[in-house]
Amino acid sequence: MRISQVLFKSSKQDYKDVEVQSQNFLMRAGYIRQLASGIFSYLHFGQRSLKKIEQVLKEEMNRIGGDEICMPVVHPAEIWKTTNRWYEIDESMVRFQDRSGRDMVLAMTHEEVIADLCVTEIDSYKQLPKLVYQVYTKFRDEARARGGLIRVREFTMKDSYSLDKDVEGMIRQYIAHYNSYFRIFARVGLPVVAIQSDTGMMGGRMAHEYMYITPIGEDTIFISDDKQYKANKEIATFKKDVPVLAAQPVEKIHTPGVKTIADLAAFMQKPESELCKAVFYTATFGDMEKVVLVLISGDMEVNTVKMEKIIKTDKYRASTVEEIAGIGAVAGFASAVGIDRRKCMVIADDMVAASLDMVAGANEADYHLAHVSYGRDFTADVVADVVSAYDGALSPHDNTGQSRLHSVRGIEVGNIFQLGTKYTEATGAVYTAEDGTRKPIVMGSYGIGVGRMLGCLAEEYRDDKGLCLPVSVAPYHVILVVLADTPEIAAEADALYLQLKEAGVEILYDDRDGKAASAGVKFADAELIGIPLRITVSKRSMQNGGAELKLRKGGEAEVVAISAVPDRARAIIAGLFAELSNGVVQAEEWAS
């Protein structure tokens, strides 16, 4: 492709109001243009890179038995109402009515459609297992689009769905995807870690997220020193050490004005871990509200995602002083001792439930209780892990006391879910089993964001001059720059361009004349766009014996005879692909 034919305009200046440098370079290099918040056009270079990523995705899905299909982006609301997600998902799902007044949905995912297809397409166990996938457009009305391609509203996604007759079959396909995803990310050169994650709005038995570790990430991830434990903050656990203290008689202590955990610890001269913190939420259950009291150790914080799993709703807020008083508690001096249990739900973290000697509120202004013991002085409706992990906590898999958790930031670039029968039971997607009974099809769901992957690659592979993308996703393998002082040099460059094309080299030819772009602009654009190999034909290179070849990412320039350039270019490109192939061979696999 001649650059003079491309809809392209580079920029020397950084874009204003751009949050991350990767977005700045993608825009300056002419990969993307923003139409609205979280909505982008992909120009020539961006589209070529996206298509290369999509090809890798398709090849790896085909490799594990995938069948490519394409499903609509507009859905009738009925199928979403059937699974109840019409009511569960917030404003991020775009709802509208067609001209006949029927409720419709813009697709943010396709589990409902797949389940609906199963109703008509699968009758017998003989048709299972199946794996279908698509690479298609979706829309999610993000409250805050950010980071260029990192969090957008309209996006292209590879989503695949496994269909099995039993859980064992689903797990096999889940593992196949687990391994396939590491191959995919290795092929494009993006370093990722797979972490345990919350199933969220998808539901199901198990989920993993593939995280690109970066300071600009939105997610917090905990990784143990020995790398044996990796989990999203939403579900991360740790080994809890509860002090072994003998139960003693309760003692009421006057604590005037001592309302905070820090003040109480100082007043009682005790560590915060020996205090019982009471956190109140008012949750909505159907058409009623109820106070939820969460009891945790004073040095911990409530993990609201874990709490949501327990109370089975994400509709809650901090309780008011009046609501706290309504259950017999006193804000600032509250505990579960003596409250009206009929008016509230009590959740105790397992550390609290294991404690026989804690300081807790007396539910009386300016008073606390010492030596409070779980089981004797109060109980809970639910005992569970409901606190957030923290830096320095012991890994839950550690038996030596040496491996501790450390938090890092990351961007989710892929996810896999063991859905089970949540969607097929709701839609009636059943099959006839070997014994003649009708059973729901068992599903798995697996996604990768194509644009987000490009955004993360741009973040990973850049320097102060621009992008330097891996050969597998760069828009072209080679950029040919001609500095034509004479017609003869221009003719040499034109001929070399044709020879490289005939040799099967993906080549972008910067054929702009000196009036359209100076030598400095051409070299700056080549570095900005980030194509792996630059070939320069100029008066100087010809005097030195041919064309100059230089890798975008490091290495010394070399001059190669014009006739030998195609073979040398192909050898360099092959070497770059070989480096990625080594990563594929070493890619992580499921540990049984």
Q: What is the pLDDT of residue 203?
A: 62
* Cross-strand pairs, 231: 196, 222
Report angle CA 392, 394, 397 to the nearest 5 degrees: 140
State how beta strands 466-467 and 39-42 pair: unpaired
Report angle CA 240, 588, 579 to the nearest 5 degrees: 140
Let me know whether 70 and 156 are in one domain.
yes
* Cross-strand pairs, 95: 105
- Are 456 and 150 a contacting pair, CB within 8 Å? yes
Q: Sheet of 478-483: strands edge to edge?
A: 507-510, 478-483, 533-538, 547-551, 558-560
- Are 291 and 282 a contacting pair, CB within 8 Å? yes
- Check whether 323 has a pLDDT greater than 70: yes
Cα 8 from chain centroid (whole Å): 31
- Secondary structure (3-state) at 378: strand
- Residue 232 falls within a domain, yes or no? no
Q: What is the pLDDT of residue 271?
A: 94
- Residue 209 falls within a domain, yes or no? yes
Let me know whether 492 and 455 are in one domain.
no
The predicted model gives 453-462 an average pLDDT of 97
Question: How many alpha carbons fall within 13 Å on the CB side of residue 435?
Answer: 4
Report angle CA 207, 212, 216 to the nearest 5 degrees: 120
- Secondary structure (3-state) at 367: strand
Give the domain extent around 518: 476-583
- Residue 465 falls within a domain, yes or no? no
Q: What is the CATH number of the domain that holds 553?
A: 3.40.50.800
- Residue 10 falls within a domain, yes or no? no
Domain stop point among 369, 384, 399: 384
Q: What is the pLDDT of residue 204?
A: 67
Of residues 142, 69, 143, 72, the one with CA closest to residue 109: 72
State how beta strands 533-538 and 478-483 pair: parallel
Q: What is the CATH number of the domain that holds 156?
A: 3.30.930.10
- Secondary structure (3-state) at 203: coil
Return mean pLDDT, the chain. Answer: 94
State how beta strands 103-106 and 95-97 pair: antiparallel
- Are 420 and 171 a contacting pair, CB within 8 Å? no
Contacts 24+ apart (CB under 8 A), 580-586: 580/186, 580/187, 580/188, 580/189, 580/470, 580/471, 580/472, 583/186, 583/187, 583/189, 584/183, 584/186, 584/187, 586/186
Q: At what angle do helices 450-460 and 44-63 cross, to 10 degrees?
A: 110
- Residue 58 falls within a domain, yes or no? yes
Q: pLDDT tens for residues 350-359?
A: 999 999 999 9
- Secondary structure (3-state) at 468: coil
- Are 468 and 462 a contacting pair, CB within 8 Å? yes
- Residue 33 falls within a domain, yes or no? no
**Pairwise CA distance, residues 246 & 240, whole Å:** 18
pLDDT band at 555 (very low <50, low <70, confident <90, very high): confident
The predicted model gives 410-436 an average pLDDT of 96
Q: What is the pLDDT of residue 486?
A: 87
Cis peptide bond upstream of 129, omega within 30: yes
Cα 41 from chain centroid (whole Å): 22
Of residues 238, 510, 501, 209, the one with CA closest to residue 385: 238
Let me know whether 61 and 101 are in one domain.
yes
Q: Which amino acid, one-letter code, is at 240?
A: K
**Pairwise CA distance, residues 96 & 106, whole Å:** 8
- Secondary structure (3-state) at 413: strand
User: Considering just the CA atoms, what is the radius of gyration of the chain in Å?
Assistant: 30
The predicted model gives 537-564 an average pLDDT of 93
For residue 97, CA distances in Å to 72, 86, 106, 304 come to 16, 14, 11, 34
Q: What is the CATH number of the domain that holds 315?
A: 3.90.960.10
Structure tokens at 432: 């006839």
Let me know whether 295 and 412 are in one domain.
no
The predicted model gives 150-170 an average pLDDT of 96
pLDDT band at 202 (very low <50, low <70, confident <90, very high): low
- Check whether 592 has a pLDDT greater than 70: no
Cα 190 from chain centroid (whole Å): 13
DSSP state of 85: H
- Secondary structure (3-state) at 74: strand
- H or E stretch covering 252: strand 251-254
- Are 95 and 77 a contacting pair, CB within 8 Å? yes
**Pairwise CA distance, residues 180 & 61, whole Å:** 8
Q: What is the pLDDT of residue 515?
A: 80
Structure tokens at 550: 């230089």
**Pairwise CA distance, residues 111 & 79, whole Å:** 10
Let me know whether 167 and 262 are in one domain.
no
* Total domains present in the chain: 3
pLDDT band at 517 (very low <50, low <70, confident <90, very high): confident
- HEC per residue, 316-351: EEECCHHHHHHCCCCCCCCCCCCCCHHHEEEEEEHH
Question: pTM score > 0.95 for this model?
Answer: no
- Residue 159 falls within a domain, yes or no? yes
Let me know whether 119 and 151 are in one domain.
yes
Q: What is the pLDDT of residue 205?
A: 76
Q: What is the pLDDT of residue 194?
A: 94
- Residue 471 falls within a domain, yes or no? no
Of residues 408, 469, 391, the one with CA closest to residue 214: 408
* Cross-strand pairs, 39: 36
The predicted model gives 372-378 an average pLDDT of 95
Let me know whether 341 and 434 are in one domain.
no
- Are 247 and 373 a contacting pair, CB within 8 Å? yes
Let me know whether 453 and 481 are in one domain.
no
Q: pLDDT tens for residues 13-51?
A: 999 888 899 999 999 999 999 999 999 999 999 999 999
Let me know whether 126 and 191 are in one domain.
yes
Name, in order, each residue with C-beta under 8 angstroms of 325's C-beta and a sequence gap of 6 or more.
Answer: 331
**Pairwise CA distance, residues 45 & 8, whole Å:** 9
Let me know whether 285 and 325 are in one domain.
yes
State how beta strands 344-349 and 316-318 pair: unpaired
- Check whether 405 has a pLDDT greater than 90: yes
Percentage above 70 pLDDT, the chain: 99
Q: What is the pLDDT of residue 554?
A: 82
Let me know whether 52 and 189 are in one domain.
yes
Residues in the chain: 592
Let me know whether 267 and 211 are in one domain.
no
* Cross-strand pairs, 384: 349
Structure tokens at 252: 């009421």
